[in-house]
A and B are shown apart, each in its own frame.
Chain A
C-alpha cells in the first residue's frame, strides 16, 4: 500500500533555532499533504494544507511565519518550525490523501525544544 515517510522521528533542539521536518510520499505522488500537531492528551489538530507548487493554506490561529511549509515536488513537503520555543514542543504528523476519503500518515516527529 501507499507509504508516507516522515523524518526525523525525534528531534531535540535549542530554543531559538529552527527545525525542518520532511514528509515524503514513497510510491505515489501527492499534490496535497496535510500537517497536524498533537498536543498531549489532546486531538490531532490540522495546522495547514500543503499544496505542490503554490502557497500552503493555514488553519485559523496557526502562525504562517512560525511554521513554514514548502511543497516543492510531488513527493516532498517540509515543515520548518522557525525560532522554536519550548511551547512548540509537540508531536507533528503529516498525511497525504489516498483517494476515496482515505489518508496515509507519516510516522510522526516528536519535537522537544529545550
Chain B
C-alpha cells in the first residue's frame, strides 16, 4: 500500500542554519504531496503542498519539490528560526480516494537553538 518515509528525529539546529528533512514516498498513481507542521500545543497545519511532478511548494521560507523520479519531497529552509521548532509531517493523499484520505510519515521533531 501507499506509504511515506521521513527521516527520524529529533533534529536540533542552531538558529540561521540550513534545514533539510528528507521524505520519500511509495504510491500507485500520482498522489498529491504535503508537509504539515504541528507547533507545541497546537493542531496540525498545512505548511505546503505540491500536486504534480516538478511542482515546488513553498511557504514561510520552507520549500519542497515533488520529484517523481526519486519519489521524494524533501523539505528545506535556508535559515531556520527558533519559532520553526515543531514536529513536521510529510504526507500524501490517496490518489484513489475522492475524500482526501491522507497518509502520514512518522514525523520529525525539529528543535532550533537560539
Contact = CB atoms under 8 A, between A and B. Distances in A.
Nearest to A45: B104
Interface stretch (B11-19, B39-47, B53-61, B66-74): B39-47
Contacts of A101: 32, 49, 51, 93, 100
A105 B45 contact: yes
Interface stretch (A62-70, A78-86, A90-98): A90-98
Q: Interface size class for chain B? A: 20 to 34
Give me the 5 closest cross-chain CB pairs, A-B, nearest first: A97-B100, A107-B43, A101-B32, A105-B44, A43-B106
15 contacts: A6-B43, A34-B101, A36-B104, A42-B107, A46-B103, A93-B44, A97-B99, A101-B49, A101-B51, A102-B46, A103-B100, A105-B36, A106-B43, A107-B42, A107-B43
